[in-house]
Amino acid sequence: MGHRRRGLSLLAALSALLALGCASAIRPLDPAVPQVLAEDEGLLVLHIDTDVPLAALVSTRGTAAEGMPRGHHVWLVRAAAGSYRWREIQVSTAAGRFHRERLRGEEATRFEVVAGHVNYPGALVVRGAPAGGATGPLRVRTLDRAAMAVRRLREDHAALLTRYPLRDAGDTPDTFLQHYTRAREATR
Partner 1 sequence: MIARRARLVLAVVLLAAAPAAGAGLSAQTLFRSAGIRDVTVSPSGRWALAHGVKGDAHGLLAQKLGSGRVTPVLAAPQAIHGVHWIGPDTFLVLFADGWRSALIGRLHERDGEVRLAQRTLQAPGGLVDPLPLVDDTLVWEFEYEGRNSVHRVRIADLADFRDADRTAWGRVHLGETLATIRGSARHWIVDRHGAPRAALREEDGTSEILVREADADDFHTAYRFEATGDAIVPISTTPDGRRLWVLAYGGHDTLGIHTFDAASAELGPRVFGREDVDVDDAVVDPIHGELVAAVYEDAGERRYHYLDGPTNADLHALRETFPTESLAIVSRSADRQVYVLFVSGPTNPGAYYLRNAATGETTLVARMAETVDTEALADAETLVVEREDGARIEAFLTLPRTAGEAPAPLVVYPHGGPIRVRDRRDYDEFIQYLASWGFAVLQVNYRGSSGYGRRFEEAGHRQWGRGIEDDIDAAVARAVARPDVDEERLCVVGGSYGGFSALTGILRHPARYRCAVTINGVTDVPLMFETSDFAEHEHARARFAEVVGDPETEREHLLEISPAYHVDRMQTPVFVVWGTEDRRVDPEHAHRLLLMLETLGKPHRALEVRGAAHGFTPRQWIPVARALRHFLTEHLLPGQPFVPDPDTPPETGFVALPPVEW
Nearest residue (CB) to partner 1, 100 versus 179: 179
Q: What is the nearest approach in angstroms of partner 1 to the Cβ of residue 184?
A: 5
> Which three-class secondary structure string do you get for the chain?
CHHHHHHHHHHHHHHHHHHHHHHCCEEECCCCCCCCCCCCEEEEEEEEEECCCEEEEEECCEEEEEEECCEEEEEEEEEECEEEEEEEEEEECHHHCEEEEECCHHHCCEEEECCCCEEECCEEEEECCCCCCCCCCCEEEEECCHHHHHHHHHHHHHHHHHHCCEEECECCCCCHHHHHHHHHHHHC
The identity of residue 67, as a single letter, is G
Site size toward partner 1, by CB under 8 A: 19
Distance from C-alpha of 154 to C-alpha of 16, rounded to nearest angstrom:
36
The answer to whether residue 168 forms part of the interface with partner 1 (CB under 8 A) is: no
The answer to whether residue 74 forms part of the interface with partner 1 (CB under 8 A) is: no
Whether 52 and 33 have beta carbons less than 8 Å apart is answered as no
The answer to whether residue 158 forms part of the interface with partner 1 (CB under 8 A) is: no
The answer to whether residue 160 forms part of the interface with partner 1 (CB under 8 A) is: no
The answer to whether residue 144 forms part of the interface with partner 1 (CB under 8 A) is: yes
Q: What is the nearest approach in angstroms of partner 1 to the Cβ of residue 67?
A: 23
Nearest residue (CB) to partner 1, 2 versus 173: 173
Q: Kindly write out the interface string for residues 83-122 of this chain, putting x where it contacts partner 1 by CB under 8 A and - elsewhere.
A: ----------------------------------------
* Binding residue (CB under 8 A) for partner 1 from 5, 8, 94, 187: 187
Whether 105 and 117 have beta carbons less than 8 Å apart is answered as no
Nearest residue (CB) to partner 1, 4 versus 188: 188
Question: Segment contacting partner 1 (CB under 8 A): 10-18, 36-44, 147-155, 160-168?
Answer: 147-155
Chain residues that interact with partner 1, rule: CB under 8 A: 141, 143-148, 150-151, 172-176, 179-180, 183-184, 187
